[in-house]
Amino acid sequence: MENKLFSGKPEIGGGLSNEQELVKICPKNFKKEWHHNKWCDAAMTIFFSGGKIGHWKWRSQDEEEKKHQLLCFRSLISGWGLPHEDKTAVAGWMLSEMLIEIPTHIPA
């Protein structure tokens, strides 16, 4: 599933080329419970407030993979093509696959 999650191409002006597909395959604990999911909360804090990522604990140790995942995440949350609840669910799912633990917010 992770391959599909980070397989989209960033769109000009924000969003991902496969974001509609990601909404369809998003796990239920993110899609149905987005407003009670701590990963989704973290994703929306990043969306609304920004923040530093230097303290994040990544699953991957590959710097190129981390850059690519972050690009996909940023592209998704900067787009306007998804309703808020879908963007929140997929962004939370992305974070959960990128990181070992839910990041604490450190303002930029």
Question: Is the per-residue pLDDT at 47 higher than 60?
Answer: yes
Evaluate the CA torsion angle 99, 103, 53, 88 in order and state its sign.
positive
- Find where tokens 């450190």 sit: 106
- Which pLDDT value is given to residue 34? 77
The 10s digit of each residue's pLDDT in 52-95 is: 888 899 999 999 999 999 999 999 999 999 999 999 999 999 99
Cα angle vertex 53, ends 32, 65, to 5°? Answer: 80
Residue 21 has pLDDT above 90, yes or no: yes
The domain ranges of the chain are 2-6+20-98
Contact in structure between 86 and 76 (CB atoms under 8 Å): no
pLDDT value, residue 105: 73
